[in-house]
Structure 1
Amino acid sequence: MTDQRLTKTIVERAQPRDKDYLIWCGKLRGFGCRVWPSGKKTFIAQYRVGGRSGRERKKTVGTYGVLTVEQARKEAEKYLALAKTGHDLAGEERQARSEMTVAALCAEYLQHGVAIKKESTVKTDVGRINSHILPLLGRKKLSAVTRAEVERFMHDVAKGKTAKDEKTAKGRSIVKGGKGTATRTVRLLGGIFTYAINQGYLQSNPCTGVKKFPDNPKDRFLSQDEINRLGETLSLAETVGLPWHLNEDGKLKHRPKSDDNLREIVPPHVTGAIRLLLLTGCRLREILHLRWKDVDFERNLLNLPDSKTGRKVVYLSEGAARVLHDLPKVGTYVILGKNPDKPRSDLKRPWTRIARHAGLDDVRLHDLRHTFASVNVARGMSLPKIGALLGHKSTSTTARYAHLTEDPLRRALNEGSESLISAMIPNGREDPE
């Protein structure tokens, strides 16, 4: 700690780092500014209750921009002055916070605890909080939520206690239960309680030790025959079109107006997107949000500024590069939607028709990513390289493909054992009956 007074200039010049850090005031001991990786800056007062041997407390007194440095200094002086007389004002506030409800904690978490999360992740969190956590736990005090309570909550969600299908102003709201939903919601709840611990509202996490339902990822890999059928269907779809399968319960506006229109030609941007998913292993949003300026044709790269795991470089095979070259360049985004300057929202309807015609009704678009990985594993590519191509941050994520290495190993075994086989099994020997 220096003897320099904390000023507006010092605070404004402080740059964010990979981790949060503190700048202390050299004139008022215990007063400082915390700089977060997001660039947010908050003022704190730090003191010990009962002297040097007492418990250390940190109290956030305000955010820079809402409070000036001098206003924050005056607030900090109040806490520090009371601490010298033995009053633990911050501790009393934290004790009161421990009696807040789960609903109040969730609201605070969404306001202050999701700064480093992606917008799409926060949206998913909001859905799980509103659909499952608030209906079952929202009114409970934090101190009343035990491990047994969390286990009951998980089993209730798994059994569908929070499931619903109701009409809303925007259409329908469908909430499903199930073991997968229950496990993911308990993980979110554990993160929310971790935030509460970091804020000093709780001493322990009631989600710790809860045995969750095992994750059973639905990995579906296309066989070579299925890949061939998909390729043939895409070619047919963009040339002569796919035949209609009329659904008596379907909306009339989607039906052809005459018998001459009983086939539908699928736009090249749709078929191109599906080909790119299979040829790059990208996630759906990475392809739908891909901009022409992010495509480097000279080096055959996609420079994605933002993906599920942050900035990402995607290496293009010759086939993937050729698909991109052949796509009409209209608007900002590679995959054209209704608005040339906005990304297409999804491929649900065309994919359903394409998958049905190809006999792949049980295949999801995300399974094309799995297929990309499985094909390269079968060709002998190492799992670390597969993980790098897919943009996995954790090796455990790529490990799901480990069992697929059996085929290349078996092929290598057979090829390497030819001399042994010829010596041990002479030509002409009949197989045992």
Structure 2
Amino acid sequence: MTQKKFVFTNRNLHALATHDPNSASKATEYSDQTVAGLKMIVGTGSKRFAFRYQTVGGRKRYAPLGTFPAIDVAEARRLALEMRAIVDRGGDPLEDRDRVKAMPTFREFVRQEYLPYAYQAKPGSAHDDESKFRLHLEPKWGALRLCDIGTRDVQMHHAAMRQSHSAGTANRHLALISATFRKALEWGRVDRNPAAGVKAFREENQRQRFLTSDEIGRLFAAMEAEPNQTAVSALKLALYSGARREEVLQARWEHVDLHGGQWWLPKTKSGRGRYIALSDEAKALLTSQSSLGTSPWVFPGRFGDKPLNNPRKTFCRVLAAAGVEHLRIHDLRHSFASLAVNAGATLYEVQDLLGHSSSAMTMRYAHLADAGRKRVVGKVGAVVTAAVRQAAGDEEDKAA
């Protein structure tokens, strides 16, 4: 490449001849005498400004500034001087550009960095997170670099999920996106979290559905005629224990202590293991299950090497046979809590039985404790009345 040096002006740069296409080099490079490092690169059909410099570490670098005459000499010198100032302070003007070029796509970050972390840090929910990524987020953002996903993209996805799903589901997606970008921010992948400040939808779908005594009787009667008794037993244990569906399906015999009446859950939604106390009915059910084979799973699938996948079809059949409507498998857990409260359990005890990480989650069952509250209020009222009567009696004695 030919090297030439002179004071750049707009006029003399306009006058520069285009590069000879027959030359061995691809372009001709000219240097400005006014600003060290400012170059004009003249090709066969274009003229462009560039800045050449050397970092503190000795690395030689080339920074394109723009084409001429789209930017003129004054603008090119201003840009070059700004870069020169960064170099003089020991920095690298192309550091940000390099970081953006090296930035992973959304799919790469999720698959290679976030999900491996999630499976270690919060194994109870990582599978659901991966499902959300695979089904909803990667089809939209998979090929985009992390820095190319903005607040508007997050808001549009949040709104689209609300159109096709419940407000709660849309909010779970927003929470996952925010958690993903918080980690990307913490690990130096991005400069900001595009989900920060996006408001969650108001959730009015805190649906409460509890089985009545009559429905429980009809449901268990229908279960007797169901061919898939393994799935039936799993559903019964969900009602007897208040465990979540996946906790029941993933139950292993090595974690069940029938003699001690305990069932250990090594992985829960909160990420912490916990024990579940087994009632006599639950122990009888598990004892019956233990005699069916040698699978390590309490509720094995067809071949025994994997757990039962999903009892939903069985559940739908027994609901139809029992004439019970508008019930989800998760409502068996709600029904357990309802029965516990009605049996005299305090909300604190229900929180412990369900493994809730905070009392706020258990407060949804507070209205079921009305009878207990009325008894307490009645006792308080009786104490006040007795105190008032006692005081009135003392006054009468004094007067006498």
* TM-score of the two chains, using structure 2 as the length reference: 0.64
Residue 228 of structure 1 is matched in structure 2 by 217
Higher mean C-alpha displacement, 303-312 vs 344-353:
303-312
1:23-422 correspondence to structure 2 within 5 Å: 86-87=90-91, 92=96, 95-96=99-100, 101-110=105-114, 112-117=116-121, 121-138=125-142, 140-160=144-164, 177-215=165-203, 216-234=205-223, 237=224, 241=225, 265-308=226-269, 309-327=271-289, 328-331=291-294, 332-410=296-374, 413=377
Contact 1:98 / 1:202 at 8 angstroms: preserved in 2?
no
SS in 1 for 2:345: coil
Cα 1:318–1:151 shift into 2, 3 Å: same
Structure 2 residue matching 1:114: 3-state secondary structure: helix
Task: Give aligned-pair identity as a percent.
Answer: 28
Aligned residue type for 1:295: V
Counterpart secondary structure, 1:159: helix
CA distance in 1 between counterparts of 2:246 and 2:94 reads: 44
> In terms of Rg, which structure is larger?
2
**C-alpha displacement of 1:389:** 1.3
Q: Residues 306 and 182 (structure 1 numbering): CA distance in 2 closer, same or farther, change over 3 Å?
A: closer
Contact 2:124 2:267 in 1 (8 A): no
**Aligned-pair distance for 1:302?**
0.8
Change (3 A) 1:98 1:388: farther
Superposed CA deviations along residues 222-268 of structure 1, whole A, max 9, x for unmatched, are 1222222223333xx2xxx3xxxxxxxxxxxxxxxxxxxxxxx5354
CA distance in 2, matches of 1:291, 1:281: 17
CA apart distance, 1:288? 2.2
Quick one: distance in 2 between partners of 1:294 and 1:139? 43
Deviation per residue, 1:279-313 (Å, 9 max, x gap): 11111222222222322122111123333333221
Aligned to 1:163: none
Worse-superposed segment, 405-414 or 325-334: 405-414
Q: 1:227 to 1:408 in 2, by over 3 A?
A: farther
Which residue identity does 2:283 align to in structure 1?
A: A
CA distance in 2 between counterparts of 1:90 and 1:304 reads 52
TM-score using structure 1 length = 0.59
2 CA distance for matches of 1:305 and 1:411? 39
- CA shift for structure 1 position 220: 1.5
| Pair 371,178 (structure 1): closer, same or farther in 2 beyond 3 Å | closer
8 A contact 1:352–1:361 mirrored in 2: no
CA contact (8 A) 1:379 1:408 kept: no
Structure 1 residues 311 and 362: CA distance shift in structure 2, 3 A: same
**Which letter does structure 1 place at the counterpart of 2:192?**
S
- The unaligned stretches of length 5 or more in structure 2 are 1-55, 57-86, 386-400
Correspondence for 2:14: none
Kept in 2: contact 1:157–1:181 (CA 8 A): yes
Distance in structure 1 (CA, Å) of the matches to 2:119 and 2:286:
35
8 Å CA contact 1:98, 1:142 repeated in 2: no
Checking the alignment, whether the CA contact within 8 Å between 1:94 and 1:200 is kept in structure 2 is no
Cα separation, 2, equivalents of 1:279 and 1:221: 14
Shift of 1:362: 1.4
CA RMSD of aligned residues (A): 3.5
5+ residue gaps in structure 1?
Answer: 1-49, 51-82, 161-176, 242-264, 422-433
Instruction: Identify if the C-alpha distance between structure 1 residues 98 and 371 changes in structure 2 by more than 3 Å, giving closer, same or farther.
Output: farther
User: Which stretch has the larger CA shift, 268-277 or 100-109?
Assistant: 100-109
Q: In 2 relative to 1, CA 202–413 (structure 1 residues): closer, same or farther, beyond 3 Å?
A: same
C-alpha distance 151-380 of structure 1, shift in aligned 2 (>3 A):
same
Whichever structure has more helix as a proportion of its residues is 2
Considering Cα pairs closer than 8 Å and 6+ residues apart, tell me whether 1 or 2 has the greater RCO: 2
**2:242 counterpart letter in structure 1:** G
Distance 2:126 2:191 in 1: 25
**Which residue in 1 is equivalent to 2:388?**
none
Pair 1:147–1:348, CA change in 2 (3 A): same
Distance 1:419 1:196 in 2: 60
Is this contact kept in 2: 1:279–1:320, CA < 8 A? Answer: yes
Tell me the distance in 2 between the aligned counterparts of 1:312 and 1:378. Answer: 24
Cα separation, 1, equivalents of 2:258 and 2:143: 56
